[in-house]
Amino acid sequence: MEKTLAILKPDAVERNLIGKILERIEGKGFKVAAMKMAQLSQCEAKGFYDVHKERPFFGDLTSYMSSGPVVLLVLSRDNAIKEWRDLMGATNPADAAEGTIRKDFAVNIEKNSTHGSDAPDTAAFEISYFFSQTEIVG
């Protein structure tokens, strides 16, 4: 089973969408291997999104990601990284396919409700950024 990191971002938590999004995750056959609430500091958000530090939206993104509570999840299933990205949909909800989480719930390209790792190396980094080995089951 492959593992990936998912985040239910501040816009999703603020609008009481935790249950609806978790229902879609479980409905697609993912197992929740770890889960916790957190409120990131801007410093923690910057460390997490370090790959984007040269992008023009980096300051806004890290302010937004630290603006309210998030749900941090480790998801497990076969092909979890790609399956979770497919279920989330495109970064910009205007481009996201019908039936995806971002199409149905995202506010805009920044407040797009969920995060997902994009490759095995980033999944490993992102999972270890938020979870110790003993917090992950299965």
* Residues engaged in binding Mg ion (CB under 5 A): 118
Q: What are phi and psi of 4, to 5 degrees?
A: -140, 160
Q: Least distance in Å: CB of 122 to Mg ion? A: 8
The contact pattern for ligand IDP, residues 67-106, with x = CB under 6 A and - = no contact, is ------------------------x---------------
52 included as an active-site residue: no
Q: Which of 2, 67, 6 is nearest to 36 (CA)?
A: 6
Distance CA 52, CA 43 (A): 14
Per rule CB under 6 A, is residue 44 in the interface with ligand IDP? no
Active-site annotation holder among 100, 115, 116, 127: 115
Place of tokens 């916790």: 36
Complex with ligand IDP: residue 67 or 91, whichever CB lies closer: 91
Q: Under the rule (CB under 6 A), what is the footprint of ligand IDP?
A: 52, 57, 61, 91, 109-110, 112, 115, 118
* Residues designated catalytic: 115
